[in-house]
Amino acid sequence: MYKIAKENLPALFQLIAEDKELYVPVNNGGQVNFANWTESSQVDLDTLKSVKSPKDAFFPQSENLYTCYKDGKKIQIEPEELQNQNFVVFGMKACDVKGVEVLDKVFLVEPVDTFYAARRAHGTIVAMACHEPEETCFCKVFGIDCANPVADVATWMVEGELYWKALTEKGEALTAAVASLLTDADEAKVEEEKNAIHAIVEKLPYTNLSLEGWNGDVLSEKFDSPVWEELYKPCLACGTCTFVCPTCQCYDIKDYDTGHGIKRYRCWDSCMYSDFTMMAHGNNRTSQLQRFRQRFMHKLVYFPANNDGMYSCVGCGRCVEKCPSSLNIVKVIKAFEKQGGDQ
């Protein structure tokens, strides 16, 4: 294990950025989101969670797929280049790293999404333990240990020093590249930090939320439950929950006339929107109740049914914080628990 003083982190970022793209949490106008590092970036490693998850380092909110050019009767198609530059995402939390694992289950199975696969191949994740988890956090419910992030490199901020531990070959390579700035460290302080984090986690209000009755075998009981008929009503269909979520993977494909060709691109979409999956004959889900139910059935039933029990929620708590109607996955789980689960 190694360490580096917090005041030396700008030098660490500079060294990483010499030959790699670097994404870090940046404070812009009071909101923290991951962005490309520059020397003028206001890096914020103290804020627990970014507004959006850093998943767009691997699954961008918008990305071009190809461009079509027309010359007379001839049409030329020019695909976008795949990611070929190595990059580092620095400061991801354990829940967001788990979110990337969920996306892997979607985009790295056949047929493989080549755009996503290229980014995963070239990306290195430096994760940071959660120094002080918040009341909206419930990652423990999904088997995630926020004191022990599992990534290429795991880090802990303790008493003004960043402790650094490589966990994979990518992590070892990055560690070797920045070794000149790292010094050997004793793990004792890190163990104390882990214990302190675990003590906080045990006191959080949702840490013992029960998932009993939620799995891939309860499709009919949950789908047909009358609980949805009342639960969905405050939903505004704004899509905020899907856009801040680390695991949501829905996207739309659109065309844009640049005046010099037609760009085809994809962008994040939301199952909460009335025009989601709209086709010539209409929409498969015609009411907000159906759309609301779809979101949570996918997280807690459909996804685990098809992915060896893995839930498509990581307990980050962003939807708990951001939903304007205070509707979120915690409320859904508790509503079914209150009603006996399958009534």
Contacts 24+ apart (CB under 8 A), 217-224: 217/305, 218/301, 218/342, 219/297, 219/301, 219/302, 219/305, 221/341, 221/342, 222/297, 222/300, 222/301, 222/336, 222/342, 223/293, 223/297, 223/301
CA 43, CA 14: separation in Å to the nearest integer?
Answer: 12
29: Cβ contacts below 8 Å, ≥ 6 apart = none
- Residue 20 pLDDT exceeds 80: yes
Calculate mean pLDDT across residues 224-236: 93
Identity of the residue numbered 231: L
C-alpha closest to that of 178 among 19, 42, 338, 7: 19
Could you list the beta-strand ranges (E) of the chain: 2-5, 21-28, 31-36, 62-71, 74-79, 87-92, 123-128, 153-158, 161-166, 183-184, 251-257, 262-268
Considering the chain, what percentage of its residues have pLDDT values greater than 70?
Answer: 97
Rounded to 5°, the CA angle 15-63-245 comes to 80
What pLDDT sits at residue 340?
Answer: 52
The tokens for 145 are 């240990």
- Residue 338 pLDDT exceeds 90: no
Q: What would the 3-class secondary structure string for 113-126 be?
A: CHHHHHHHHHEEEE
Calculate mean pLDDT across residues 176-190: 96
SS3 145: coil
- Residue 279 pLDDT exceeds 80: no
What pLDDT sits at residue 271?
Answer: 86
Q: What is the DSSP letter of 284?
A: S
- Residue 18 pLDDT exceeds 80: yes
CA 28, CA 240: separation in Å to the nearest integer?
Answer: 19
**Using 50, 70 and 90 to split pLDDT, how confident is the model at 95?**
very high
- Residue 343 pLDDT exceeds 70: no
- 111-134 pLDDT per residue, tens: 999 999 999 999 999 999 999 999
What pLDDT sits at residue 320?
Answer: 95
Q: What is the DSSP letter of 19?
A: T
Q: Which residue, chain included where needed, has tokens 């206001």?
A: 42
CA 331, CA 334: separation in Å to the nearest integer?
Answer: 5
Give, in order, the Cα–Cα distances in Å from 106 to each of 110, 276, 342: 9, 19, 28
What pLDDT sits at residue 110?
Answer: 95
What pLDDT sits at residue 125?
Answer: 98
CA 168, CA 155: separation in Å to the nearest integer?
Answer: 13
Calculate mean pLDDT across residues 134-142: 97
- 52-83 pLDDT per residue, tens: 999 999 999 999 999 999 888 899 999 999 99
- Residue 17 pLDDT exceeds 90: yes
Q: Largest alpha-carbon pair distance within the chain? A: 71
Are 195 and 202 in contact, with CB atoms under 8 Å apart?
no
What pLDDT sits at residue 73?
Answer: 85
- Residue 331 pLDDT exceeds 60: yes
What pLDDT sits at residue 278?
Answer: 67
What pLDDT sits at residue 342?
Answer: 43
**Using 50, 70 and 90 to split pLDDT, how confident is the model at 218?**
confident
CA 310, CA 100: separation in Å to the nearest integer?
Answer: 13
Identity of the residue numbered 125: I
